[in-house]
Amino acid sequence: MSTAFWLTNARLESGYEVSEGVITGIKTEICHVFIEDGNIAKIVSSDRTITDSWPRHDVKGLLLLPSFTEKHCHLDKTLLGDRWRSVTPVSSIFERLDIEKATLPALDTRTQDRAERLLHMYLESGVTHVRTHVDIYPEVGLANLEAVQQALHAFEGKLSYEIVAFPQHGLLRSKSKEWVRQALRSGAGLVGGVDPATVDGDIEASLQGMVELAVEANAGIDLHLHDAHHLGTFTMKRLAQLTIEAGLQGKVAISHAFGLGDIPTSQAIEMGEMLADAGVALISSVPIGRNMPPVGLLHECGVEVAVGCDNIFDVWSPFGNGDVLERAGRLAELSRWVDERSLARTLQYITGGMTPLGPDGEQIWPQVGDAASIVFVEASCSAEAIARRSRRVATMFKGNIVSGSL
């Protein structure tokens, strides 16, 4: 596409429809949007005649939404492109780790190629930013990191990304601290970790090790925390304390945090307020069949919350399609968010907090100056897109179509 062009006849949300004090729908307007140098430069009503000679692309009434973020994936783990295989039953996480360690290096397909297949799926679903965890442990060294970096390089200009140096087998248990340090020096931007109690066997030493690495590299932290009940919440409390002590507020996230779904609401509120004060974010894969954090309640407490797909056809799960919009719809279903406003607000968990309408229905996206990173959707409004998992016709990243066509 040209560096400057019009998107004509684009559907934008403009406010809520209200009847007797109840939000019953979302109002939209058909507009022309001018894109220049990767940003939104003008937004005018479709009633206005365009008189300049810039190229025009007729959107034909498709709904424009901010492009999506995938905040939890494992590009190095996926089996996409390899033969079908289901999951081997195991009795412990350690058996699963051993199976994965034996399986991935023996595949006929390359890590880079499998990662690229998954990245293509993400673009098709509307994702233009990914946070990927990459396994780091002594036997593999930095090979997974290098393969994932090559895959991401192949998508340069199509999406943005973050890389987590993830000691899947335990930072302490697998003696991976020096390898994680090397990964941070080689392009990873966050320190990963997993279950300091049940995998590493030492909550304090494991968390201290992660924080030390993060401070040393000026990096963030994203901890996989599956531990349930008070073991999980104890770990979260200690990480929040260490986050404040190290000045890492706003740079730390906890993925999964199942323990928050195992405690009474009053305790969940206390935990939410504590995490918000420490600037610790939460990332959920919206699991089926087990307790999950009360996302809406935590958001109300001020916790930054995001949704990610996690496993996508790998040694851990045969399921997954890389569609974060579908995952957001699942969140709405499990949370029983069925009214117009609640459905529309669900979008924020897959867009880095952006929604077309603010909490009171004021139009806040798109604005002049915003990056032209857009999903073009066959839907009348964002609430329908969430509920119906509507078809995405095209994905734009900074003014360039990176999937589909207009």
Model pLDDT for residues 261-298, shown as the tens digit of each residue: 999 999 999 999 999 999 999 999 999 989 999 999 99
Domain limits at 40? 4-66+355-404
CA 93/CA 112 separation, integer angstroms: 26
Same domain? For 157 and 57 the reply is no
CA angle at 222 for the pair 289 and 96, rounded to the nearest 5°? 50
Same domain? For 288 and 141 the reply is yes
In a domain, 396, yes or no: yes
Model pLDDT for residues 17-62, shown as the tens digit of each residue: 999 999 999 999 999 999 999 999 999 999 999 999 999 999 999 9
Question: According to the model, what pLDDT value does residue 42 have?
Answer: 97
Same domain? For 299 and 392 the reply is no
Confidence class for position 1, pLDDT limits 50, 70, 90: low
Closest CA to 116 of 149, 68, 164, 140: 149
What is the distance between the terminal CA atoms of the chain, rounded to a whole angstrom?
Answer: 11
CA atoms within 13 Å, Cβ hemisphere of 385: 33
Same domain? For 109 and 162 the reply is yes
In a domain, 176, yes or no: yes
Same domain? For 191 and 46 the reply is no
Of the residues 258, 293, 319, which one is the last residue of a structural domain?
Answer: 319
Same domain? For 248 and 190 the reply is yes
Angle, in degrees to the nearest 10, between helices 324-335 and 111-125: 60
Burial grade of 4 (CB within 10 A; 0-12, 13-18, 19 or more): middle
Same domain? For 189 and 269 the reply is yes
Domain CATH number, residue 36: 2.30.40.10
Same domain? For 102 and 8 the reply is no
392-397/400-404 β-pairing: antiparallel
Same domain? For 182 and 258 the reply is yes
Q: What is the mean pLDDT of the chain?
A: 97
Model pLDDT for residues 306-319, shown as the tens digit of each residue: 999 999 999 999 99
In a domain, 393, yes or no: yes
In a domain, 345, yes or no: no
Domain CATH number, residue 311: 3.20.20.140
In a domain, 334, yes or no: no
Of the residues 264, 295, 319, which one is the last residue of a structural domain?
Answer: 319
Q: Would the CA dihedral through 95, 97, 305, 219 be positive or negative?
A: positive
How many domains does the chain contain in total? 2
Same domain? For 33 and 80 the reply is no
| Token pair for 294 | 């009360």
Distance, CA of 39 to chain centre:
22
| Token pair for 155 | 């998508």
In a domain, 331, yes or no: no
Closest CA to 388 of 310, 332, 315: 332
Of the residues 262, 294, 319, which one is the last residue of a structural domain?
Answer: 319
In a domain, 348, yes or no: no
pTM as predicted: 0.95
Same domain? For 294 and 221 the reply is yes
CA 290/CA 254 separation, integer angstroms: 17
Same domain? For 184 and 174 the reply is yes
CA 252/CA 272 separation, integer angstroms: 14
CA 310/CA 222 separation, integer angstroms: 13
In a domain, 343, yes or no: no
For residues 374 and 67, the answer to whether their CB atoms sit within 8 Å is yes
